[in-house]
Structure 1
Amino acid sequence: MGGCCSRDDVAKEGLRSRGEEEFNEAFYDEGGLEGGVSAIEDGTRVRFEGSCGFASMYTQQGLKGVNQDAMVLWEDFGGEKGSVFCGVFDGHGPFGHKVAGHVRDNLPSKLSSQLKALASHVDHQGSSDLSFCNDKSIEFNDTTESYETKKDDNGKWFPSWKRTFTNAFEELDNELSMNTSIDCICSGTTAVSVVKHRENLLVANLGDSRAILGTRDEKNKLVPVQLTVDLKPNLPGEAERINSCKGRVFALKEEPDVHRIWLPDDDCPGLAMARAFGDFCLKDYGLISTPQLSSWKLTEKDEFVVLATDGLWDVLSNKQVVKTVSSARNRADAAKLLVHRAVRTWRTRYPTSKIDDCAAICLFLKHPSLSPLPSFDGGIHPTKSRELSFSESFKTARSSETSDAETFGAAANKEEWTALEGISRVNSLVKMPRFASVLSWRRRSMKIEEQNSKEGKKLEDDFE
């Protein structure tokens, strides 16, 4: 199954034929659930690795210890045929792998149940149409921190989907804060997820993992469109929120390009992202679990979506990723090819640095063409007819935030958000707070006390 990409040029043969795809899809449809695949009550298939007729998944452990990257793909998401959920999660901190695994296992099911409830509510209102996107863009209004949709009947459902996603993310984060089996004081995870629902994409982003779209421009050349913003602490809106909550944002002298979040009175933990699940030592100081949401109306020009952790984006640019995926002769190998190229680039560009974990999902949006792929163009060509639509700014209980959508939009029109240049890979966390071990001990003690209390009550009941 697929080797490394040995050169940068796009394979002339293109992706595999429709006949090969039908064989692959038939294999899965015959009921054999291979390794890494499970099924839940409503028939939804859940994949943790491997590939199917429309997606490819692959992860590789780096040289920093346990693989803290996690990923998942749900077929027929929410019980609707053809809908897909895929998510990639990049853990950090001592127990980041546990946080990432927990979010992977619980976020899709929480979203699915809430979307089903939303669909049921819509049905009671006399309509079964749950489209979350419209043909027009959603415009920002920074003064009122609200959004304005151009006149379109379908647009009214988009806010409902956004509220559902935001509630699911924040509920899961609250559950993590009360979970005594995972120490989340200074451990957390990013989360970038995509739901493909009919002809629409809804993208939810938390942290610095990324999603991009491979689409074709007016000249039929394959170009990348970045669907998410890397939510770093030095983005204007993120920094403003953090500073207003008494958190601090600055870069160390030895890594001037890496801005981090620090506690008010201590130079720790130095988290290199502005939003995340977990990391509760910073949740009172500007770190939030509210995702940034965006939507995209799919057309026949859109080819595939790539979701990946920063281990890949730190060494490969958007155009390199699109170029590599399009060079895969077999769809099943696309994610593996991508990760292998990232690992190889790590070794050559940063020979003294430890290679980071890498995880990627390639979601293909249509059947491959029988003809060779047209030429690739690495530039970004925003079209006037379609725009990436970002959600409004959500207010949280601890603070209010402003959106960086306009910042992203301006950057996308000029140049893509490129990979790291001239610096080596840095850790997501720099230093553990002194009180972290105390808080962890207190949580364990509370758990032991609860167990002792239950055992004592049971003994009393047995005695009586």
Structure 2
Amino acid sequence: MGGCCSCHVSILGKVHDEEYECSHHNVASFERGGSQVMLNGSSKFASMYTQKGTKGVNQDAMTVWEGFAGDKDMIFCGVFDGHGPQGHRFSQCIRDNLPSKLSAAIKLPQQNAADTGSYDEDNRHMSFASWEGKFLRSFKEMDEDLARNIDRDGYCGGSTAVTVIKQGDNLIVGNLGDSRAVLCTRADDNHLIPVQLTVDLIPDIPSETVRILDCGGRIFATGEDPGLNRIWMPEGDCPGLAMSRAFGDFCLKDYGLSSAPDVSYRKLSKRDEFVVLASDGIWHVLTNNEVINIVASAPTRSMAAKLLVHHAVQAWRYKYPGFHVDDCAAICLFLNDQHVLTSSQSSVRGSWKKLH
């Protein structure tokens, strides 16, 4: 199996001494800007869990902000999958700073309206174009900060990001790279249906291919991973990135790699049960349908993300014996007050018992 980034240049060994704002690494929950921030664990509506793979330091990071942007009805969730020699620094710094940038962008028009006396309840509900603009600006600012503070030479790696903001029955999704968000909804006959909310942004997508080639980048697979196309600089064997959009990887930003997220919107209904955000370590070995049924089978909500990660790790060991297990991170965001186990998930629940 191939990693996200394949590089063979000595400059990758360079590490900068500057410290960016990457605090609270070992704290499970704390308050920030009026929001309750979680880095692990669970709450009434969210379950989070990550497990290091067998390749070294865990480069996955994640966060949930409840009461986001000062709105008690708003929740932010994000999973960030780092890659390259400094991938963990990228994912952690994005985790610690991107939500604040989005929160500030959301609060600004509300504050301006309040200062002029024009604020009312309708100001809380922005158009999709406004949401998209805030995501695009916040991601751009985040990437610029990373270039200044983490990777001045452009060869230290990067990170994906899959993020959602839930405000009432509105769900806004911002995706960068090949992590994924999947919604679980319930059909008329009561069985569960997965709805993939994001597109895996990889070089194989025609529109991504065109942009990369137009910018002078190259796309090809290596002999080690013949089925995995990667982005390469015009000359040399660097960096071999398996996604078409990412934070960081600045050596490729002039050759088609983009830090602009794909932003989408969904109106939630009473049939919608939960959303799973996870790094590609989970999606490589489990289908969307398997993922939602594993989560739905959890004895309690607090166990859901851990159960999912454990199933993914088992699947890695079974499907790819002898290969490294990837880092795995998952957030399960529950949309309703009730979480009902159906008979169709009973066999999956039995496998949970075997894990303990």
Q: 2:292 aligns with which of 300, 322, 328?
A: 322
Asked whether the equivalents of residues 90 and 150 of structure 2 are also in contact (C-alpha less than 8 Å), the reply is no
Asked whether 1:106 is paired with 2:70, we answer: no
Q: Name the structure 2 match of 1:456.
A: none
Distance in 2, Cα, partners of 1:278 & 1:239: 19
Asked whether 1:220 is paired with 2:190, we answer: yes
Distance in 2, Cα, partners of 1:174 & 1:258: 29
Q: Name the structure 2 match of 1:302.
A: 272
Q: Name the structure 2 match of 1:348.
A: 318
TM-score by length of 2: 0.85
Asked whether 1:283 is paired with 2:253, we answer: yes
TM-superposition CA deviations, 1:313-334 (whole Å, max 9, x none): 0000000000100100110000
- The 1:372–1:344 alpha-carbon spacing in structure 2 relative to 1, beyond 3 Å, is closer
Q: 2:63 aligns with which of 69, 72, 85?
A: 72
Distance in 1, Cα, partners of 2:112 & 2:82: 35
Q: Name the structure 1 match of 2:31.
A: 39
Q: Name the structure 1 match of 2:342.
A: 373
- SS of 1:304's partner is strand
Asked whether the equivalents of residues 297 and 341 of structure 2 are also in contact (C-alpha less than 8 Å), the reply is no
Q: How many residues align?
A: 318
Asked whether the equivalents of residues 95 and 184 of structure 1 are also in contact (C-alpha less than 8 Å), the reply is no
- The 1:174–1:181 alpha-carbon spacing in structure 2 relative to 1, beyond 3 Å, is closer
Asked whether 1:362 is paired with 2:332, we answer: yes
- SS of 1:282's partner is helix
Distance in 2, Cα, partners of 1:173 & 1:179: 10
TM-superposition CA deviations, 1:214-244 (whole Å, max 9, x none): 0012322111000000000111010100011
Q: Offset at 1:49? A: 0.4
Q: Offset at 1:291? A: 0.1
Q: Name the structure 2 match of 1:52.
A: 43
- SS of 1:81's partner is coil
Asked whether the equivalents of residues 28 and 38 of structure 2 are also in contact (C-alpha less than 8 Å), the reply is yes
Q: Name the structure 1 match of 2:232.
A: 262
Asked whether 1:202 is paired with 2:194, we answer: no
- The 1:184–1:96 alpha-carbon spacing in structure 2 relative to 1, beyond 3 Å, is farther
- SS of 1:257's partner is coil
Q: Name the structure 1 match of 2:121.
A: 128
Q: Offset at 1:45? A: 0.5
Q: Name the structure 2 match of 1:446.
A: none
Asked whether the equivalents of residues 172 and 265 of structure 2 are also in contact (C-alpha less than 8 Å), the reply is yes
Q: Offset at 1:374? A: 6.2
Q: Following superposition of structure 1 onto structure 2, how do residues 164-243 of structure 1 map, counting pairs within 5 Å?
A: 164-179=134-149, 184-243=154-213
Asked whether the equivalents of residues 49 and 331 of structure 2 are also in contact (C-alpha less than 8 Å), the reply is yes
TM-score by length of 1: 0.66
Distance in 1, Cα, partners of 2:90 & 2:154: 7
Asked whether the equivalents of residues 200 and 295 of structure 1 are also in contact (C-alpha less than 8 Å), the reply is yes
- The 1:70–1:184 alpha-carbon spacing in structure 2 relative to 1, beyond 3 Å, is farther
- SS of 2:78's partner is strand
Distance in 2, Cα, partners of 1:41 & 1:131: 18
Q: Name the structure 2 match of 1:97.
A: 88
Q: Which runs of 5+ in 2 are unaligned?
A: 1-25, 346-356
Q: Offset at 1:182? A: 7.5
Q: 1:251 aligns with which of 198, 208, 221?
A: 221
Distance in 1, Cα, partners of 2:172 & 2:213: 30
Q: Offset at 1:267? A: 2.3
Computed over aligned residues only, the root mean square deviation of the Cα atoms, in angstroms, reads 1.8
TM-superposition CA deviations, 1:95-150 (whole Å, max 9, x none): 00001000000000110011000323455555432465xxxxxxxxxxxxxxxxxx
Q: Name the structure 2 match of 1:397.
A: none
- SS of 2:178's partner is coil
- The 1:184–1:53 alpha-carbon spacing in structure 2 relative to 1, beyond 3 Å, is farther
Q: Offset at 1:348? A: 0.8
